[in-house]
């Protein structure tokens, strides 16, 4: 991952901080916010996916990270707070170790996060969900993860105990994935299953607890709208880059440089309720890494000469079914698609997308995503902008 990815993440973080500190009256963002800060210790088991993640003959199975976090939530009496009464969003920074600085380095991570309560188990105990998405740096490139910067994705189910009106303790099973998104070869990634131990301080004593009635009221407000009012239309323009490898006969060629990708999506979505949407998307992508041929390894085996096919043989045109989880500021999406136009030996009938939209205004959003070919192999990242109608 290079400078562009860091710039996009910094833009999202700056937007979050701007929203959390703004006190201006606005129909979009509430001017009364609840703030919280916390720390976490995250021991984890690293599932070694490549021999390069060994310290000699010893697999680097143990990982540990320390996190400092800030988050805010909207006033429960605001329009956003009534729709999403337990949601919080914020930023975090962390330091990771796999106990072998020589092999992996000591990565740092900056990330955005969002979570909400799913269920109250008692008056003081609750179960929730949370995701983190960020950029990590400080890795030592190796054959498993040949990049100094990598994307970090984390999902978790926090079990939270409110010990006082202002203090919470949490015990959280989680999963973390590090990947360079095929921006460099190779990309085996790192996969960690762990447990979070956390403490959070809430600045608003006796923070208002969400009731089922608020969810019902918000749903009733949406149910009175017409079909057209339930529809949204997103247009996304994105770019990316990736490394590639291909074979001809018994020869194998690795192109470890940035091969550009550009794409555009048009996605109509029907909003089922305040939290879920279903739709379809027309996906068009031009990928300069597809169907390369006439590879020649230079004498030093570090550079490759190759030929490119005509542009139409590097185009992908597909239609995908899309589902979205909507929350304040962020929308998480997943898509399953079929390619209608794709030729050559790089042909893949199916593809899957995972995306994150970060809304800067009610209509304009940043777009970050993953695209998998054949539903399982990472093909490219996606960084772009979109507009909602």
Q: Give pLDDT, residue 357.
A: 96
Write the pLDDT tens digit of every residue in 292-325: 766 666 655 566 666 777 878 888 899 999 999 9
Q: Tell me which of 145-149, 157-161, 329-333, 344-348 is least confident.
A: 344-348
Q: Give pLDDT, residue 211.
A: 40
Q: Give pLDDT, residue 364.
A: 96
Write the pLDDT tens digit of every residue in 235-257: 999 998 887 666 666 666 666 67
What is the token pair recorded at 373? 């070919």
Q: Give pLDDT, residue 182.
A: 74
Query: Between the CA of residue 174 and those of 89, 130, 385, what are the distances in Å?
Result: 18, 9, 30
Query: Between the CA of residue 112 and those of 38, 70, 219, 241, 305, what are the distances in Å?
Result: 14, 10, 28, 23, 40
Q: Tell me which of 85-99, 204-218, 348-362 is least confident.
A: 204-218
Distance CA 379, CA 242 (A): 8
Q: Give pLDDT, residue 51.
A: 64
Q: Give the long-range contacts of residues 365-368, CB within 8 A, separation 24 or more.
A: 365/331, 366/8, 366/11, 366/12, 367/236, 367/238, 368/8, 368/133
Alpha helices in the chain (DSSP H): 3-21, 79-83, 101-104, 212-223, 227-230
- Segment 334-358 shows an average pLDDT of 86
Give the percent of the chain with pLDDT over 90. 48
Q: Give pLDDT, residue 293.
A: 66
How far is C-alpha 165 from the geometric centre of its chain's CA atoms?
A: 32
Write the pLDDT tens digit of every residue in 59-78: 888 999 999 999 999 887 78
Q: Give pLDDT, residue 290.
A: 80
Distance CA 267, CA 232 (A): 8
Evaluate if residue 42 carries a pLDDT over 80: yes
Q: Give pLDDT, residue 56.
A: 61
Q: Give pLDDT, residue 282.
A: 97
Q: Give pLDDT, residue 309.
A: 77
Locate the domains of the chain by residue range.
Answer: 3-214, 225-388
Residue 120, class by beta-carbon neighbours within 10 Å (0-12 exposed, 13-18 middle, 19+ buried)? middle
Alpha helices in 212-282 (DSSP H): 212-223, 227-230
Q: Give pLDDT, residue 23.
A: 38
> What DSSP letter does each residue of 126-158 carry, written as one string?
EEEEEEEEEEEEEEPP-SSB--SEEEEEEEE--
Q: Give pLDDT, residue 129.
A: 95
Query: Between the CA of residue 309 and those of 260, 262, 294, 312, 364, what are the distances in Å?
Result: 15, 17, 10, 8, 36
What is the token pair recorded at 387? 């507009």
Evaluate if residue 223 carries a pLDDT over 80: no
Q: Could you tell me which residues are beta bridge partners of residue 136?
A: 109, 150
Residue 83, class by beta-carbon neighbours within 10 Å (0-12 exposed, 13-18 middle, 19+ buried)? buried
Same fold, 3-214 and 225-388: yes
Distance CA 276, CA 169 (A): 29
Distance CA 64, CA 194 (A): 9
Are the beta carbons of 356 and 383 closer than 8 angstroms? no
How many CB atoms lie under 10 A from the CB of residue 193?
A: 13
Side-chain half-sphere CA neighbours of 73 within 13 A: 25
Are the beta carbons of 339 and 363 closer than 8 angstroms? no
Q: Coil, helix or strand for 99? A: coil
Are the beta carbons of 113 and 69 closer than 8 angstroms? yes
Q: Give pLDDT, residue 148.
A: 87
Write the pLDDT tens digit of every residue in 83-138: 888 999 999 999 999 888 888 889 999 999 999 999 999 999 999 999 999 999 99
Q: Give pLDDT, residue 30.
A: 45
Evaluate if residue 31 carries a pLDDT over 60: no
Evaluate if residue 217 carries a pLDDT over 50: no
Distance CA 280, CA 48 (A): 37
Write the pLDDT tens digit of every residue in 179-207: 888 777 777 788 999 999 999 999 875 44
Fold of 225-388: Porin (2.40.160)
- CATH match for 3-214 among 2.40.160.20, 3.90.79.10, 2.160.20.10, 2.40.37.10: 2.40.160.20
């Amino acid at each position: 991952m290079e400078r562009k990815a860091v710039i996009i993440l910094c833009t999202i973080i700056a937007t979050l901080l701007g929203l959390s500190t703004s006190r201006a009256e606005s129909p979009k963002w509430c001017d009364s916010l609840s703030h919280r800060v916390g720390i976490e210790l995250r021991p984890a088991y690293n599932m070694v996916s490549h021999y390069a993640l060994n310290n000699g003959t010893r697999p680097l199975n143990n990982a540990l990270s320390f996190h400092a976090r800030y988050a805010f939530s909207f006033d429960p009496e605001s329009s956003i707070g009534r729709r999403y009464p337990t949601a919080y969003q914020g930023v975090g920074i962390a330091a990771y170790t796999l106990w072998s600085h020589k092999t992996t380095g000591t990565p740092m991570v900056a990330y955005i996060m969002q979570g909400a309560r799913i269920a109250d188990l008692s008056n003081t105990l609750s179960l929730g969900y949370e995701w983190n998405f960020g950029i990590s740096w400080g890795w030592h490139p190796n054959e498993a993860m040949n990049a100094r910067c990598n994307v970090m994705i984390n999902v978790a189910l926090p079990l939270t105990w409110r010990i006082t009106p202002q203090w919470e303790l949490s015990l959280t099973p989680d999963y973390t994935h590090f990947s360079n998104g095929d921006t460099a070869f190779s990309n085996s990634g790192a996969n960690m299953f762990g447990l979070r131990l956390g403490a959070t301080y809430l600045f608003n004593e006796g923070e208002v607890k969400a009731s089922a009635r608020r969810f019902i009221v918000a749903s009733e407000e949406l149910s009175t709208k017409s079909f057209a009012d339930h529809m949204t239309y997103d247009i996304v323009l994105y770019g990316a880059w990736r490394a590639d490898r291909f074979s001809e006969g018994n020869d194998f060629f690795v192109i470890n440089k940035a091969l550009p990708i550009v794409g555009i999506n048009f996605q109509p979505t029907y909003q089922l309720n305040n939290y879920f949407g279903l739709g379809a998307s027309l996906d068009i992508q031009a990928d300069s890494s597809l169907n390369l041929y006439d590879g020649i390894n230079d004498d030093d085996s570090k550079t490759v000469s190759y030929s490119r096919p005509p542009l139409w043989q590097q185009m992908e045109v597909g239609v995908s079914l899309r589902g979205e989880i909507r929350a304040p500021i962020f929308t998480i999406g997943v898509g399953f698609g079929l390619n209608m136009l794709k030729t050559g030996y790089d042909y893949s009938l199916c593809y899957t997308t995972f995306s994150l939209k970060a809304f800067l205004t009610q209509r304009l959003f940043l777009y970050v995503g993953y695209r998998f070919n054949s539903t399982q192999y990472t093909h490219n990242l996606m960084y772009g902008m979109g507009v909602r109608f």
